[in-house]
Each structure stands twice: as C-alpha cells, then as structure tokens.
Amino acid sequence: MANCPQINNTTIKGTSAIGYDGTPLPCTDVKTCDALNLILSKLDSVICNVTSDVNQLTETVTNITEEVMIISEEIININNQLDVCCSTTTTTSTTVEPTTTSTTSSSTSTSTSTSTSTSTSTSTSTSTSTSTSTSTSTSTSTSTSTSTSTSTTTAVPTTTTTTTFNNYQIEDCITASVYTLAKTYVRTLGDVVEYKVGVPGVGTQRCGTIISTSINLPPTASFNSPASRRCGDTVHCPTS
C-alpha cells in the first residue's frame, strides 16, 4: 500500500488497521489511506441517506395515490348527486287519426203525368144509317226524388305520461332480500347502509349492500342513517 503503514501480519482478525490504497471515491467520500472503520462509517452514512430518500419518495407516492383515490370518489359522488337532482320524466303523445262517418239516405223519384183523349164521329145517309165512335185514353205517371248526405269527422288526441325513476337497489345482509332504496343520500356501489322497509320506513333498522346505483323502479325502502356500515356490524346491523 503506497504511503500507508505496512502490516506484516499474515492473519488480520477484528482490526481497523486495514487501510485503503486505491483512488478516492467521491460518491462515498472515501479517500486514499482511510482506515477500515472510517470507510465503513462513510458507506453507512451514504446507505442511511439513500434509505431516507427512498422512504420519503415512497411516502410521497402513497400520498399522491390517496389524493387520486379521493378525487375519483368525489367525481363518483358528483355524478350520483346529478342523478338524484335530475330525475327524468318522459312524455309520450299519441294522436288518433281522424274518423270520418258518412250516411246516405234512400232516394225516391216521383213524376205525375195525366193525359185524356176523346174522339166522337157521327155519319147519316139517306138510307138512314147512323154510326157513332168514341175513344178515351188516360195515362198517369208519378216520380219523387229525395237525397240526404251527412258527413262527420272526429279527431281524438291521446296523451300518455311515463315517469322514469332513478334509485338505489340494495340486498339485505342477512335475508338477501332485494329492495329499491330512495336516493336520499349519495352512496356508491358496494356501500353497506342502514334502511327500513317502506316509504317512509317502519319497523327495525336493517343493513343492506348497494348492488345498483341506478334502477328504474319506485322506492320500497328508506334510509335510516347517512353513515356507511358493514354487514358484520352487530351494533348497527341486526344478526338475524
């Protein structure tokens, strides 16, 4: 080792008399002729700093991840609130085509005509001969015509109104019964909530899991609390 104390021992055990004879190491601040204990101390300091930096970076990444999850949940809540505030009503209008009714009465034609003809002829001769001829002709014809026509047009408009619902659908934690829950509070898919059967709800409060955030059915149950629960919560949820 250049410029360093020489050690002639062939066996070195548990000693700090070992010296470094290489070139300086700037990243660890190890210099030529540094003793073993000093080198280990400098390396330990570098490792501790690296470990601290890694821990800080890990904590920063964890915080960013949590903030992203919170923002995502807020976006879901905003969308659900829009669904609660903006129920949709669809109106369907049906128009019946005009109906035309036509009535035609019978037709009668009447015509009256009378004609009379009389002819008389008399002839006398010296031989005393008399001849008389009489002819009479009568013709009668009657015709009557009457026409009546009635036309009626009727248009009847028909309007049908359809109401669209937007509610939660929940499944009871114990009985697995399914109910439609009015959107009194904003919850997300998979949340466990307290409810009572009926609108307004009556009887003992129960707990159920939200299995749909948008169901087109009228409500059959009501919120009992805005808080989130879990099915195994024996304080707030029944066990049977």
Residue type (1 letter), 64: I
For residue 29, being part of any structural domain is answered with yes
| Rounded (5°) CA angle 56-58-64 | 105
Is pLDDT at 83 greater than 80 in this prediction? no
- 206: exposed, middle or buried (C-beta count within 10 Å: 0-12, 13-18, 19+)? buried
Residue-wise pLDDT tens digits, 147-189: 555 556 666 666 777 889 999 999 999 999 999 999 999 999 9
Domain extent for 194: 165-229
pLDDT of 105 reads: 44
Indicate the pTM of the whole model: 0.36
pLDDT value of position 147? 55
- Would 45 be classed as within a structural domain? yes
**Last residue of a domain, which of 33, 60, 86?**
86
Domain boundary among the residues 86, 107, 127 is at 86
pLDDT score recorded for residue 90: 55
Is 87 a residue whose pLDDT tops 70? no
Domain contains 103: no
Last residue of a domain, one of 42, 69, 86: 86
Mean pLDDT of 209-233: 92
The better pLDDT of the pair 148, 202 is held by: 202
Higher-pLDDT residue of 54, 28: 54
Separation of alpha carbons 78 and 97, rounded Å? 46
pLDDT of residue 133: 47
Say if 54 falls within a structural domain: yes
Q: Taking the CB of residue 198, how many other CB atoms lie within 10 A of it? A: 13
Residue 221 in any domain: the answer is yes
Query: pLDDT tier at 47 (50, 70, 90 boundaries)?
Result: very high
Is residue 134 situated within a structural domain?
Answer: no
If phi > 0 it is left, if psi is from -120 to 50 it is alpha, else beta; for residue 73 that is: alpha
Task: Tell me the three state secondary structure of residue 237.
Answer: coil
The answer to whether the bond into 26 is cis (omega within 30° of 0) is no
Q: How many structural domains comprise the chain? A: 2
The set of residues, in sequence order, having a beta carbon less than 8 Å from that of 36 and lying 6+ positions away, is 15, 16, 17, 18, 19, 20
User: Are 221 and 196 contacting, i.e. CB atoms less than 8 angstroms apart?
Assistant: yes
User: And the tokens for 233?
Assistant: 């919560």
What's the pLDDT band for 50 if we cut at 50, 70, 90? very high
Average pLDDT on 69-90 reads 81
Average pLDDT, the chain: 76
Rounded Cα–Cα distance for residues 221 and 183 (Å): 10
Instruction: Tell me which of 152 and 63 has the higher pLDDT.
Output: 63
Report the pLDDT value the prediction gives residue 207, as an integer from 0 to 100. Answer: 95
Residues 6+ apart with CB under 8 A from 137: 115, 116, 117
110: in domain:
no
CA distance 27 to 15: 25
Tell me, what amino acid is at 53?
A: D
Residue 112 lies inside a defined structural domain of this protein: no
CA–CA separation, 134 and 118 (whole Å): 7
- Phi, psi (deg, nearest 5) at residue 8: -95, -5
Predicted local confidence at residue 114, as pLDDT: 46
pLDDT number for residue 112: 45
